[in-house]
Structure 1
Amino acid sequence: MKYLFLLGTALAVSTPALVSPALADEVDNTIVVTATRTETPLSQVGQSVSVVTRDEIERTQATQATEVLERLPGVTVSGTGGFGQITSVFLRGAENAQSLVLIDGVRINDPGDVAGGFDFGGLTIGQFDRVEVVRGSSGVLWGSRAIGGVINFITARPTEQWTARAQAEYGWRDRRQVGPSAAGMLGPVGLTLGGNWLEGDGYSAYNERRGATEKDGFESKSANARAEIELAEGLSVDAGGYYTKADYGYDDTGADALNFGHKRDTLGYANLRYAGLDGRLTARLGYGLTDTRRISDHEIYGPYTTNGRNERVEGQVTFAPVDLVSVLLGAETETSKFSDNFGSKDRTSIDSYFGMLTLHPVSGLTLNGGLRYDDQADFGHRTTFAANGAWALGEGEDAPVIRASYGEGFKAPSLYQLYTNGTFNPLEPETSKAWDAGVEQPFAEGKGRFTLTWFDRKTRNQIDYDFANWNYYNVGRTRAKGIELGMVVTDWEGFDLNLSYTYLDAKNELTGARLARRPQNNFYASLDKTWGLGLRLGADLRVGGNRWDDHANTQFVEGHVVVGLRTSYPVTPNVEVYGRIENLFDEHYEVVRSYGTAGRSAYAGVRVKM
């Protein structure tokens, strides 16, 4: 009965996308910004892109950012326990630090992280209005760290009419959450404000089913703000920030421990924008700051503290002299700093210049090509190239779209890898070459979308840690290739259906070993039905394939099957109650060897919208 239930729980998710104003309405008017750094219709983007809206976040009742990401094709989430614990996201098998993470377009990768990546373990999703995920190398437009792709978490934009929402939730092991937000105009100033508080007893990071008894609780607080004002016709300025702090307990690899961790991320930005010539000319001058602090307080060895800081100034201009041609030119300068409580204090910088040419030679066809020049303070200069295209074969809602892309990547070793490298081992920058090709077939009068994509990426000098010699080293060559399958149906006769499947072959080409913590097969499916009175019932199914937990392929982790149920009901037009059961069949499983996952758990909450 269990597997019959699982089998009946199916269908969907994914997307890819770029455009000129004259062609915008021919196939798809969904607008994305992450793939091209400018507002572009999805139908003209040559890369593989997934867009998650606020409605989808609320429908699935997600709490953490990873709960949204793991539903998408090409995405694998690997966490060492519950909320707050170290959590990595692999895009198409790329290392966590090889993907760029943005909040409102500003980099939030941690300069103090071991590899310069972002730890997703303490990021909640409630404050964000939209998530865009670009799969595949995006190094030409976004620079270092975008080898695997780009993940952009976007907050709500103010409109003329004030809107507000709030959410409160309670559930398993005394977990409580409250999250308000509002957006609107205060005179000539547009404002967005939001916050989130999450606290709970949690469960042991070391697997309770292996004998752990001590719970690792957590508390998270976060806030975001944005203000924008039009100074003159076509000229505007905006500024904002994001702050989050998480405190949590954590364990050792093979036992309970009274260890405590602390994470604090602060992000700030300001932009001066101009748009003129009937939208044919746009320009932006921006400043971004990311400041992080991490404390790992071990009960025996004491605290280890790292601080990271990244400052960035960037400018870009886009000009479309005619409908068929547009040019994007940009320049960036970035300074990164790292320090710890053992005396390390180092910095590096990188200056970059990039350009992208977009052509629309015939109706429905978009071609993009670009170059980037990076001058890194420690490793010299590097030029990378990218090209992609999207071709809508016909007009109308059900016209298929063919997409293909090629991109190169470049990532210098992190400050941590360079300056805390015991028994120093010289490191080389990581480089990559990646391509993909796929087709998108809309159906059901535009309410449904099916995608199939083949991808292949080769990486040289990938950096790993050598536990025998206690230092970092360049692996040599790795390769990740596979297939992504996605389907999404939105509001079709009351049904929302989602499906994503990824086959991933990620290996060290020198040894033939599979890359650690990358399952070959990942599958997600969900089905939601809404009735006339507003009652909604939904279910989802997550199937994670088996994987190796180490690069030598000696520690095996079994796959898992997890089912969830959910429901919601609008008590009034502005008030909705909801509830869910996660891990319905109390599946016993691990994602990272010896670390725990949540058993059967239930949550209930209320949402208010104005």
Structure 2
Amino acid sequence: MTRSILFATAAAVLFPLSAGAQTPDDPDAVLPEVVVTATRLPAIVADTPGARVIDRATIDQRGAVFAADILSEVPGLSVVRSGAFGGVAQVRIRGASPGKTLVLVDGVPVNDPAEVNGAFDFSGFELSDIERIEVLSGPQSSLWGSDAIGGVIALTTRDLDGFDAGVEAGSFGTVRGRLAGGLLTERYGFGAWVSHFDTAGISAADEADGNPEADGFTSTTVGGRARYAFTPDAVADGSVRWTDSAADLDGFPAPTWALADTPDRQSSEQWSGFGRLRLKAFGLDHQFSLSASDMARETISAFPSAFAADRQVARWQANGAASGVAFAVGAEREETQGSLSTGLTEQLGASSVFATARIDPTDRLSLTGALRFDDTDDFGSKTTGRVSGAFDAGAGFTLSAAYGTGFKAPSISQAVCDFCFSSQPFPVLRPETAEGYEAAVGWASPDGRIEGRMTVYRLNVEDQITYIFDPTTFDSFYVNLAETATDGVELEGRARLGGGFDLSLAWAWTDARDEATGARLLRVPERAGSATLGWTGARLSGALTVRGEGDQDDAGGVREAFITANLTGSYALTDKVTLTARIENLADERYQQVFGYGEPGRSGSVGIRLRY
């Protein structure tokens, strides 16, 4: 009954297009218009189908430590996490497999080329240095090329001005600390930060199944940003981010081969960064950038492995406007390299050109189009496109719609058929392709204090690459086989209620299936919802977040539905010193995010934050 109430309430009230902690109540205050920048042309979120922004105020209000903690609140997005602390955490957008979500940090692609599907692992991605998170759902290959079939998650690090430090301690021997400092002026800016997280953890395998061994996790992140304006028309900037983490894992020991306590562990090291020169010339704003990311990970277990991968991207982009049309054009060269289970190293590459433009035929209608041509070194060329429009229908209503296509070239592991065994030649793989349709109705109250949106969509993926095993010949290899489809409804909205209270809710229905068999896709809950009630006063603020997911099919069985709640609060002793507290899993619910892997019971933490 409780689950039905949660899902029905979330459906009725809607969740935020961009949630944010509120300032003390002001009867004349309105919710600000939010802009998304991962579209290459800055666009208003309410006019952009599938776009969401999570700002720094929302991250602080929710008390989110890692990216996976808050991404699960985005409608249509599911987080797959095998273990609470340090277990692999990957994201599915609208039912698409994790490798079809492109992840950017300051515009740098950070997906792991050595991972079988090319997916990004969010398990150690700490948020203390992140200013905002942008999510673009649906095919975005016309903007960002391969890996963006399901969508894009773009994270932006913070500009620093002054001193910021904090420490937090809590359950499971958890300690978290951050130290940051920087200086911003009109001509230059620079800053650096370091954060550390350490916990004794819980058993990655569900403790209720007789697995008492705690699996610890530790992670350190160091980063920096810099900017210098030679002239108002010539600005150089860049950033770098390095993370080192180590996690205890559980495996599948003989003779039962069931998930259980084991001494397995994994260490990983990743860095990413970019350098960019921005110039105004010939009536255009030019950006010339070089970016790179590098990852190395090692697993110690009964079946040890070590993988390393790196990616480099050279990009030119120019933005301008002419005859009422805003546009961006550009070109990219991307090269990736990754190691295989055999110890050999392979590489892939692609050269691309792209263009996107927006025109407003009337004051009430906006139209946007994007086109991209990718020429891969090994899998031919592909042209993708996207068109969208938004119409102000009056009375606070906005109608919007979009159609887009996408593609994903085989990963390095798939391209060379790593982990494959056959006496026959392996099949030649084709890139996976996708097309997505969506339509949305948004509404905002005249005073701007309430807004919401309902989106319906369909996502089709063809030539899905699948790993198959033939028990008669013991052959195993990758083939283009499956066709998948997802139909869905996403509801979102936010409201200022007065008295310092703000309300944010979300609900999503996701019907993701294999078109060949009709079976539900694994690890995609059909229903998911979240609700956050926040309050902000002169010194004291807090938020209660309730999140639930319906049943989901998993490789080992059916992961049961669950509801969990978190409570966060802060008290400003002075304008420079703030006390913080957080209680997670408030009702001490026993639940699993992924079948077989346990999640923590009720836990808490307290901390102090200094700002100068």
Counterpart secondary structure, 1:115: coil
Look up the match of 2:150. Answer: 148
Look up the match of 1:326. Answer: 326
Alpha-carbon contact 1:384-1:410 (below 8 Å) kept: yes
Counterpart secondary structure, 1:67: helix
Unaligned runs of 5+ in 2: 19-30, 253-258
Look up the match of 2:400. Answer: 403
Counterpart secondary structure, 1:288: strand
Counterpart secondary structure, 1:173: helix
Counterpart secondary structure, 1:248: strand
Look up the match of 2:42. Answer: 39
CA displacement at 1:135 relative to structure 2 = 1.1
Counterparts of 1:446 and 1:183, CA distance in 2 = 35
Residue identity matched to 1:475:
L
Alpha-carbon contact 2:36-2:52 (below 8 Å) kept: no
CA displacement at 1:363 relative to structure 2 = 0.4
CA displacement at 1:175 relative to structure 2 = 0.5
Look up the match of 2:220. Answer: 221
Look up the match of 2:357. Answer: 357
Counterparts of 1:14 and 1:287, CA distance in 2 = 35
Alpha-carbon contact 1:9-1:527 (below 8 Å) kept: no
Deviant stretches of 4+, over 4 Å: 1-12
CA displacement at 1:471 relative to structure 2 = 2.8
Is the aligned partner of 1:165 residue 2:164?
yes
Q: After alignment, is 533-542 or 122-131 more displaced?
A: 533-542
Q: TM-score, normalised by structure 2?
A: 0.91
Shift in CA distance, 28/348, structure 1 to aligned 2, threshold 3 Å: same
Counterparts of 2:300 and 2:461, CA distance in 1 = 35
Look up the match of 2:192. Answer: 193
Counterpart secondary structure, 1:157: coil
Look up the match of 2:490. Answer: 484
Look up the match of 1:422. Answer: 420
CA deviations over 1:288-338 (Å, ceiling 9, x no partner): 10111111111x23x31111111110111122113x212221111111101
Residue identity matched to 1:216:
D
Residue identity matched to 2:545:
D
CA displacement at 1:174 relative to structure 2 = 0.5
Is the aligned partner of 1:519 residue 2:516?
no
What does residue range 372-451 of structure 1 map to in structure 2 within 5 Å?
Answer: 372-394=372-394, 399-419=396-416, 420-423=418-421, 424-443=426-445, 445-451=447-453
CA deviations over 1:422-451 (Å, ceiling 9, x no partner): 123432211000011101111272232211
Q: Which has the higher contact order (CA 8 A, sep 6+)?
A: 2
Shift in CA distance, 440/164, structure 1 to aligned 2, threshold 3 Å: farther
Counterparts of 2:230 and 2:566, CA distance in 1 = 49
Look up the match of 1:274. Answer: 279
Instruction: Find the partner of 2:261 among 231, 256, 265.
Output: 256
Alpha-carbon contact 1:156-1:183 (below 8 Å) kept: no
Look up the match of 1:15. Answer: 17
Residue identity matched to 2:36:
V
CA displacement at 1:77 relative to structure 2 = 0.8
CA displacement at 1:206 relative to structure 2 = 0.9
Unaligned runs of 5+ in 1: 17-26
What does residue range 287-326 of structure 1 map to in structure 2 within 5 Å?
Answer: 287-298=290-301, 300-301=302-303, 303-322=304-323, 324-326=324-326
Alpha-carbon contact 2:55-2:133 (below 8 Å) kept: yes
Counterpart secondary structure, 1:120: coil
Residue identity matched to 2:528:
N
CA deviations over 1:380-434 (Å, ceiling 9, x no partner): 111112101122334xxx7322211111001011001222141234322110000
Q: TM-score, normalised by structure 1?
A: 0.91
Counterparts of 1:224 and 1:30, CA distance in 2 = 27
Residue identity matched to 2:494:
V
Alpha-carbon contact 2:34-2:44 (below 8 Å) kept: yes
CA deviations over 1:547-579 (Å, ceiling 9, x no partner): 1103xxx72111111122222211112211121
Is the aligned partner of 1:547 residue 2:552?
yes
Instruction: Find the partner of 1:30 among 34, 39, 61.
Output: 34
Alpha-carbon contact 2:291-2:312 (below 8 Å) kept: yes
Residue identity matched to 1:333:
R
Counterparts of 2:32 and 2:577, CA distance in 1 = 32
Counterparts of 1:495 and 1:275, CA distance in 2 = 44
RMSD (Å), alpha carbons: 2.4
CA displacement at 1:539 relative to structure 2 = 1.4
Counterparts of 1:592 and 1:353, CA distance in 2 = 39
Instruction: Find the partner of 1:508 among 497, 514, 521.
Output: 514
CA deviations over 1:136-186 (Å, ceiling 9, x no partner): 11110111111111111111235xxx3332221111111000012234237
Alpha-carbon contact 1:408-1:431 (below 8 Å) kept: yes
Alpha-carbon contact 1:413-1:427 (below 8 Å) kept: yes
Look up the match of 2:288. Answer: 285
Look up the match of 1:127. Answer: 129
Counterparts of 2:580 and 2:2, CA distance in 1 = 24
Residue identity matched to 2:319:
T
Shift in CA distance, 451/418, structure 1 to aligned 2, threshold 3 Å: same
Counterparts of 2:364 and 2:150, CA distance in 1 = 28
Counterparts of 2:446 and 2:580, CA distance in 1 = 29
Shift in CA distance, 259/467, structure 1 to aligned 2, threshold 3 Å: farther
What does residue range 49-88 of structure 1 map to in structure 2 within 5 Å?
Answer: 49-88=51-90
Counterparts of 1:165 and 1:453, CA distance in 2 = 39
Look up the match of 2:22. Answer: none
Shift in CA distance, 425/86, structure 1 to aligned 2, threshold 3 Å: farther
Alpha-carbon contact 2:495-2:503 (below 8 Å) kept: yes
CA deviations over 1:101-155 (Å, ceiling 9, x no partner): 0111111111111111101111111110111111111110111111111111111
Alpha-carbon contact 2:525-2:551 (below 8 Å) kept: yes
Counterparts of 1:480 and 1:110, CA distance in 2 = 25
CA deviations over 1:489-534 (Å, ceiling 9, x no partner): 2574301211000000000000000000001000101111234x42
Look up the match of 1:211. Answer: 210
Counterparts of 1:184 and 1:258, CA distance in 2 = 45
Look up the match of 1:494. Answer: 500
Counterparts of 1:193 and 1:39, CA distance in 2 = 27
CA displacement at 1:71 relative to structure 2 = 1.1
Counterparts of 1:276 and 1:460, CA distance in 2 = 43
Alpha-carbon contact 2:204-2:598 (below 8 Å) kept: yes
CA deviations over 1:466-497 (Å, ceiling 9, x no partner): 25544333332100111000111257430121
Fraction of identical pairs, as percent: 31
Counterparts of 1:571 and 1:199, CA distance in 2 = 27
Counterparts of 1:50 and 1:229, CA distance in 2 = 30
Counterpart secondary structure, 1:97: helix
Alpha-carbon contact 2:3-2:548 (below 8 Å) kept: no
Alpha-carbon contact 2:7-2:507 (below 8 Å) kept: no
Residue identity matched to 2:287:
R
CA displacement at 1:457 relative to structure 2 = 0.6
Counterparts of 2:325 and 2:532, CA distance in 1 = 41
Alpha-carbon contact 1:112-1:339 (below 8 Å) kept: yes
Look up the match of 1:23. Answer: none
Residue identity matched to 2:314:
V
CA displacement at 1:93 relative to structure 2 = 1.0
Look up the match of 2:465. Answer: 463
Residue identity matched to 1:185:
L
CA displacement at 1:29 relative to structure 2 = 4.1
Residue identity matched to 2:481:
V
